[in-house]
């Protein structure tokens, strides 16, 4: 099962290596990892999607807590959260498919951010499922290039 961990860490050089090294040497599987600054410039937030059963996740969490650079670990998996990914996708288009593609982009609330003679570059945000669904829909047209961020997540406010 995939778990989403929000790990608040010190914003220092070497911290990423420390955390990713911990995952590597304890043989935990990282599915995706994003790092960003927080509103407090001395802290960064790592959103780590990691695969494992509850026992593995418990160990991961405890091992993370042991790191002096880790301030807080929250498991967002079973929490009410809003999570998002961003994808940039370059799709092949021909004169007769252009309109179809543009309509699909619209349905998914994507945006065209670049246009070539025979391709479109589309920006899409959403949860993982939505992005996967969009990619599936685009595949028949021919995906020339695809980049996507890992997941970022935030807990829903209680009120």
Binding residues for other proteins, per CB under 8 A?
A: 10, 13-14, 17-18, 21-22, 25, 55, 58-59, 62-63, 65-66, 68-71
Question: How far apart, in whole angstroms, are the C-alpha atoms of residue 119 and residue 31?
Answer: 30
Q: How far is the CB of 104 from other proteins (least distance, A)?
A: 46
Nearer to other proteins, 68 or 95 (CB): 68
Question: How far apart, in whole angstroms, are the C-alpha atoms of residue 51 and residue 142?
Answer: 30
Nearer to other proteins, 14 or 116 (CB): 14
E strands along 11-142, which residues? 29-37, 43-51, 70-75, 81-92, 111-115, 119-126
Q: How far is the CB of 8 from other proteins (least distance, A)?
A: 9
Nearer to other proteins, 58 or 100 (CB): 58
Nearer to other proteins, 66 or 117 (CB): 66
Q: How far is the CB of 15 from other proteins (least distance, A)?
A: 11
Q: List all residues 6 or more positions away from 92 whose beta carbon is below 8 Å from its beta carbon.
A: 118, 119, 141, 142, 143, 144
Q: List all residues 6 or more positions away from 79 whose beta carbon is below 8 Å from its beta carbon.
A: 155
Which single residue is written with the structure tokens 């911290």? 15
Q: How far is the CB of 49 from other proteins (least distance, A)?
A: 21
């Amino acid at each position: 099962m995939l778990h989403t961990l929000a790990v608040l860490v010190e914003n220092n050089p070497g911290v990423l290596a420390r955390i990713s090294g911990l995952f590597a040497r304890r043989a935990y599987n990282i599915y995706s990892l994003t790092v960003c600054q927080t509103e407090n410039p001395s802290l960064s937030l790592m959103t780590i999607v990691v695969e494992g059963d509850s026992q593995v996740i418990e160990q991961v969490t405890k091992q993370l807590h042991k790191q002096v650079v880790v301030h807080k670990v929250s498991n967002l998996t079973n929490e009410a959260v809003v999570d998002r990914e961003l994808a940039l996708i370059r799709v092949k288009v021909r004169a007769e498919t252009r309109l179809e593609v543009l309509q699909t982009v619209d349905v998914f609330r994507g945006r065209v951010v670049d246009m070539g003679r025979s391709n479109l570059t589309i920006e899409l945000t959403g949860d993982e499922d939505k992005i996967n669904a969009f990619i599936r829909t685009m595949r028949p047209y021919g995906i020339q290039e695809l980049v996507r961020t890992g997941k970022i997540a935030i807990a829903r406010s209680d009120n």
